[in-house]
Chains A and B, each alone.
Chain A
Amino acid sequence: MRKYYLSLLVLGLWVPLASAQEYQTQTQLSQKLKSLESASGGMAKLQSITKTIGGKDIWLMEIGSGDRSAHPAIAVVGGVEGAHLFSQELAVAFIEKMLTSKSDSIKTLLSTTTFYVFPNMSPDASEQYFSALKYERSGNASATDDDRDGKVNEDPFEDLNGDGLITMMRIEDPTGKWKTHPADTRIMVQANAEKGEHGDYLLYTEGIDNDKDGAFNEDGEGGIHFNKSLSFDFPYFTPGAGEHPVSELENRALLDLLYDKPNIFSVVTFGPANNLSEPWKFDRSKTTMRVITGILENDAKVNKFVSDLYKKSVTAKDAPSSLPTKGDFVQWGYFHYARFSFSTPGWWVPKFEASKDSTLTKNNTNKDDKNSDVNFIRWAEKEGLDVFVPWKKIIHPDFPGKTVEVGGFKPFVRTNPPVKYIEKAATDHTKFLVMLAQAKPELDLVGLKTESLENGISRITLTVLNKGQLPAIAEVGASNYWVKLITVALNLGKDQALVGGRKIITINNLQPGESTEVSWLVKGKGIATIEAGAAQTGIKKLNITL
């Protein structure tokens, strides 16, 4: 009996039932990935691309059949934000759905398209969710001097009310800039001086000013923040960014790996930014300088097209606007990696709608309750979720004689709903990723014609067509040497000679539906081979008998 369980463990088939009820730890996720790999029948390959400085594996699961590196591919990246555990679960659920699908169309897709899935880029940070002291952490295990005062981790959070959670503290103080929200006094908002309002509270994260520098909890444990440390628009010398872009092992390992996979045509991030519910818009003024900061015109059209695919498959409405942030991954994917790059949080707080006869609706005269915190707490209470720690007085050593209360939203709750919400999001996002994969740039060789001219010379004519729904190359990648061009090569037999035309023809790009005609003059008989394509479109081969 014992042996039986052991062998299940060895085979990686042992998935504790409890894991379905809660977010999974790194150990559980790793175990899950291993079992998915071993049950995949060769459709999946799991590898650790590096270990973080905290000693945790960064997993890559490759999905697809046949020669995966020869197929156009999508990279799916979760956990760019360590506190966003939902994104990891979404990535893993996507893997599971693809691998266990019985659908023929999925099987066909996987025999022509590859997915490189990196479920969690921030394992050092995400483990904070499971520790005795819970706070939303983004930084890895590198020791950093966040406030650049020459001391490392000298002012961390403290759990002043002893509930195991880091929330907020508010201090009654006439110099404070914060006040309570009129629609819900639990919610704190900034007083608007322009409207003649004045604040009644100071508001800080929960803790004491350990180093007496006037700032609270400004340099605790938590190093480099993956989604803030990439090379586009890097926020120099800000906490979590690192001393320069791409300083960390996990960042480097991911980027090295992606650069070494020219077959990737698109990157999809499960993270804070959202350019799928609302596509990035073309703004010429951001594209005319040497360093472009906005999406290019043609790529904006592609973003719109893909956003429409997204909204066809993901039914959740009212996504809040989520702009990209400095040094983040989605912008790196577009501006520096030069691929079609998309991002979605995968889940967001739905809009709270009070039922028509509720007291809220009847009494509600305050328009300010569009406040997202108010919306969230109302929605959560309707769903029966406990997301808030009620404000409660404590004695605080830094504020003798003052009224100090600890409370506020629990960490993680805003972006990580109960796990029961994962299934629907995973189904929708799998549908979207499948649609995106089906839209891939894909070449067809059409209109092949061989004409026999006089004295053993033949003319070969051929049209190379992009029959996919995406361009072969994003406009941003037009002159980026990491993005491959389409080449059309004519390989001749030993009794054949090229009389006219180039042996290798380079095509700079093909838009969806666009085609180019190529032709050669060849002397001699026998079989010649044409190979056409680029890594990200797949390579098509054709034999011709002359």
Chain B
Amino acid sequence: MNKLIICFFLLAGITTQAQDANGVFRAAGSPENPKVPISWNRYYTHDGITDICKKIAAAHPDLAKLESIGKSYQGREMWVLTITDFKKGKAEEKPGFYLDGNIHSNEIQGAEMALYTAWYLTETFKDITFIQELLADRVFYIVPTINPDARDYFMKSPNTPHSPRSGMIPVDNDRDGKINEDGFDDLDKDGNITQMIRKSVTGRFKKDPNDSRRLIRAKTDELGEYEVLGYEGIDSDGDGRVNEDGEGYYDPNRDWGWKWQPNPIQNGAYKYPFSLPENRNVRDFVMAHPNIAGAQSFHNNGGMILRGPGAEEDASTYNAEDSRIYDAIGKKGELLIPGYRYMIVYKDLYSVFGGELDWFYGGRGVYTFTNELFTSYMYFNKKSSWEDGQEEVYEFNNDLLFGDAIVPWKEYDHPQYGKIEIGGVKKNFTRADPGFLLESDAHRNMSFVIYHAYHMPKLSVDNISEKNLGNGLTEVTAVVKNERMMPTHSSQDLKYNIERPDYISIQGASVVAGMVVENRDLNITNEQKNNPAVLAVKSIPGLDAVTVRWIIKSSKNYTIKVDSRKGGVVSKQK
């Protein structure tokens, strides 16, 4: 009795009110009256994310389950929402899609967009047949932030749009034996680390005559007025350098266990692969969920749909067969998210070791993308050249954000530089989506996730035929079909036998022999001498089928079962 009451109060405490049904009208493709109303035009701290996760799980117990994959360095829970139709089949026996965000702590919108995905799937389930079918045979594992410590630090402490990127484990960046002794200083106390500039006879910059908040380069034949001193800060330790050893710095996306390299070769690497607790938690979760067949990781920014290889040295890891599938999904992404481009990390961005997507693909054989969310294309829905990119930022800030995102220059008396001015872009602008664009960007990126997840393997036992061989023997031939694009084993997986073979078995029959049929018309088969009832098949290719055959002694009631780690478990009874 007591327990019941406590449960009731717990639930009541996190139940939220939907709008009065009479007061709303459905917009196409969005939940009309969500059980969990969420504002998608603002960002959430780790507490906020925790609250939303709990509300989604409480409001949709048959669709969402909330767990922690472990604790961060500072002890925050790393939440994972498991989203599937729990009434249909076991979650672990469906192809799984892993989605995370915010590995770089300043790249915050990954968390909201991952959460949006969880919210959308659960809230539209009752109205959209496609979503019902999707959740019937796939499962989504959504970890909104895999860097919760530094996410909160980004939001709650002074930062630039680009800092800290790292997690919160202290590191001696300047190798002087002291840790974090000279980080940023929020001199103007506005919660943002902006630029320091100073009037100088030799300076090569000037204020834009059309918008004095913007600093521009003086023309080649023109005297400048200002010099740029860098981000707000002082030389705290007196070593002649400013801000050279602040929070962090290591890069959590240089810490993964595929072709990892140490920091002199790969800037940002920490101690060894998975030396960061947050990444270890993800690793453990992925290793414990071998059904994960597709993955995406939400970063910012630049509107890029990235796939590996990360490093030029690793180019041979991706072969033509898998590249075809990547290309098909990536190209679709370019259509779904205008302004985003499908790119290969080492060729089109930079060559980098130890990235998350490389471990997912190279180490686990999982088809994986990284999305660099938000692009300057979204300012005015057109491509901009690098030249006027800055101009665009200021125009957008003025006309659409009404000046909210940029700190105007203000004089300051600096202990080392003397009279300076401080101002510039706030930490929530240029990389994070501006509020009104957040939901739209989230939806488009989610649609890309869903397209990717849709094309994970979907297996069925398509056709069973029998032939009487005489002497009480029957030949049973079964066709196992995969009606989606991805095979059950990527070519990287097959190269190293990362995941076990798929098992196609016949149950309830006395088996004399079993074989995989290579060519049914010409009767070319490959016999499995050991344990013929359970045939081990290397992979079930995408948009294709595998044919198997048994010779059995009776042909009454038997079941053919397909047990594939990444393709799920399906069976058909004869």
A398 to B239, CA, bound (A): 73
Contact indicator B257/A484 (Cβ below 8 Å): no
Among candidates B174, B177, B257, residue contacting A245 with C-beta atoms closer than 8 Å: B257
Contact indicator A244/B176 (Cβ below 8 Å): no
A476 to B529, CA, bound (A): 54
Q: Give every chain A residue within 8 A of B275 (Cβ-Cβ).
A: 246, 252, 255-256
Contact indicator A481/B263 (Cβ below 8 Å): yes
A335 to B313, CA, bound (A): 17
CB distance from A253 to the nearest CB of B (A): 12
- Can you name the residue of chain B whose Cβ is closest to the Cβ of A332? B272
A477 to B264, CA, bound (A): 8
* Stretch in contact with the other chain, from A167-175, A265-273, A310-318, A502-510: A502-510
10 nearest A-B pairs in the assembled complex, by CB-CB distance: A150-B500, A244-B257, A503-B238, A504-B239, A148-B497, A237-B496, A246-B272, A212-B530, A479-B264, A485-B175
Give a binary string over A480-493; 1 marks a CB under 8 Å from any B CB, 0 the rest: 11111101000000
Q: Is B265 located at the chain interface by the 8 A CB criterion?
A: yes
Q: Is A534 located at the chain interface by the 8 A CB criterion?
A: yes
Give a binary string over B514-541; 1 marks a CB under 8 Å from any A CB, 0 the rest: 0000000000000001100000100000
Contact indicator B238/A502 (Cβ below 8 Å): yes
Given A231-B272, A290-B313, A487-B177, A504-B497 contact (CB < 8 Å) = no
Q: Give every chain A residue within 8 A of B501 (Cβ-Cβ).
A: 149-150
Contact indicator A244/B273 (Cβ below 8 Å): yes
Q: Is B240 located at the chain interface by the 8 A CB criterion?
A: yes
Contact indicator B530/A213 (Cβ below 8 Å): yes
Q: Is A134 located at the chain interface by the 8 A CB criterion?
A: no
Q: Can you report 18 residue pairs joining A to B where beta carbons are below 8 Å apart?
A: A145-B500, A148-B497, A149-B497, A237-B497, A237-B498, A245-B260, A246-B273, A255-B275, A290-B313, A336-B272, A480-B262, A481-B172, A481-B173, A484-B175, A487-B177, A504-B237, A505-B239, A506-B176
Q: Is A399 located at the chain interface by the 8 A CB criterion?
A: no
Contact indicator A243/B237 (Cβ below 8 Å): no
Among candidates A336, A481, A502, residue contacting B239 with C-beta atoms closer than 8 Å: A502
CB distance from A330 to the nearest CB of B (A): 16
Q: Is B296 located at the chain interface by the 8 A CB criterion?
A: no
Which chain A residues have a beta carbon within 8 Å of chain B's beta carbons?
Answer: 145, 148-150, 211-213, 230-231, 236-237, 243-247, 251-252, 255-256, 259, 262, 290-292, 335-336, 338, 476-485, 487, 498, 502-506, 534-535
Contact indicator A502/B273 (Cβ below 8 Å): no
A287 to B305, CA, bound (A): 34
Give a binary string over B236-274; 1 marks a CB under 8 Å from any A CB, 0 the rest: 011110000000000000000110111111000001111
CB distance from B250 to the nearest CB of A (A): 9
Among candidates B171, B261, B529, residue contacting A291 with C-beta atoms closer than 8 Å: B261
Give a binary string over B302-313; 1 marks a CB under 8 Å from any A CB, 0 the rest: 000000000001
Q: Give every chain B residue within 8 A of A212 (Cβ-Cβ).
A: 529-530
Q: Give every chain A residue within 8 A of B176 (Cβ-Cβ).
A: 484-485, 487, 504, 506
Among candidates B262, B363, B497, residue contacting A336 with C-beta atoms closer than 8 Å: B262
Contact indicator A243/B265 (Cβ below 8 Å): no
Contact indicator A506/B239 (Cβ below 8 Å): yes
Among candidates B261, B264, B271, B283, residue contacting A259 with C-beta atoms closer than 8 Å: B271
Q: Is B359 located at the chain interface by the 8 A CB criterion?
A: yes
- Can you name the residue of chain B whose Cβ is closest to the Cβ of A238? B496
- Can you name the residue of chain B whose Cβ is closest to the Cβ of A245? B273
Contact indicator B271/A534 (Cβ below 8 Å): no
- Can you name the residue of chain A whose Cβ is closest to the Cβ of B171? A481
Contact indicator A236/B496 (Cβ below 8 Å): yes
New A-B contacts (18) at CB < 8 Å, excluding given A502-B238, A502-B239: A148-B497, A148-B500, A149-B500, A237-B497, A243-B257, A244-B257, A244-B274, A246-B273, A252-B272, A252-B275, A290-B313, A291-B261, A481-B171, A482-B271, A484-B177, A487-B177, A503-B240, A505-B239
Contact indicator B496/A148 (Cβ below 8 Å): yes
Among candidates B173, B257, B264, B363, residue contacting A480 with C-beta atoms closer than 8 Å: B264
Q: Give every chain A residue within 8 A of B313 (Cβ-Cβ).
A: 290-291
Q: Give every chain B residue within 8 A of A243 (Cβ-Cβ).
A: 257, 287, 363
A336 to B263, CA, bound (A): 9
CB distance from A447 to the nearest CB of B (A): 23
Which residues 174-224 of B have a CB within 8 angstroms of A?
A: 174-177
Contact indicator A231/B177 (Cβ below 8 Å): no
CB distance from B116 to the nearest CB of A (A): 31
Contact indicator A231/B260 (Cβ below 8 Å): yes
Q: Give every chain B residue within 8 A of A247 (Cβ-Cβ).
A: 257, 274
Give a binary string over B153-168; 1 marks a CB under 8 Å from any A CB, 0 the rest: 0000000000000000
Contact indicator A244/B258 (Cβ below 8 Å): yes
A259 to B239, CA, bound (A): 24
A245 to B260, CA, bound (A): 9
- Can you name the residue of chain A whose Cβ is closest to the Cβ of B530? A212
Q: Give every chain B residue within 8 A of A244 (Cβ-Cβ).
A: 257-258, 273-274, 283, 359, 363
Q: Give every chain B residue within 8 A of A483 (Cβ-Cβ).
A: 175
Q: Give every chain B residue within 8 A of A476 (Cβ-Cβ).
A: 264
Q: Give every chain B residue within 8 A of A231 (Cβ-Cβ).
A: 260, 262, 272-273
A213 to B496, CA, bound (A): 17
A291 to B352, CA, bound (A): 12
CB distance from B356 to the nearest CB of A (A): 13
Given A290-B313, A336-B262, A480-B264, A262-B177 contact (CB < 8 Å) = yes
Q: Give every chain A residue within 8 A of B265 (Cβ-Cβ).
A: 290-292
A336 to B265, CA, bound (A): 10
Q: Give every chain A residue within 8 A of B287 (Cβ-Cβ).
A: 243
Contact indicator B240/A502 (Cβ below 8 Å): yes
- Can you name the residue of chain B whose Cβ is closest to the Cβ of A491? B238
A481 to B262, CA, bound (A): 10
Given A244-B258, A481-B171, A256-B271 contact (CB < 8 Å) = yes
A483 to B257, CA, bound (A): 23
Which residues 267-326 of B have a CB within 8 angstroms of A?
A: 271-275, 283, 287, 313
Q: Give every chain B residue within 8 A of A482 (Cβ-Cβ).
A: 263, 271
Among candidates A255, A480, A534, residue contacting B177 with C-beta atoms closer than 8 Å: A534
CB distance from A247 to the nearest CB of B (A): 8
CB distance from B355 to the nearest CB of A (A): 13
- Can you name the residue of chain B whose Cβ is closest to the Cβ of A480? B264
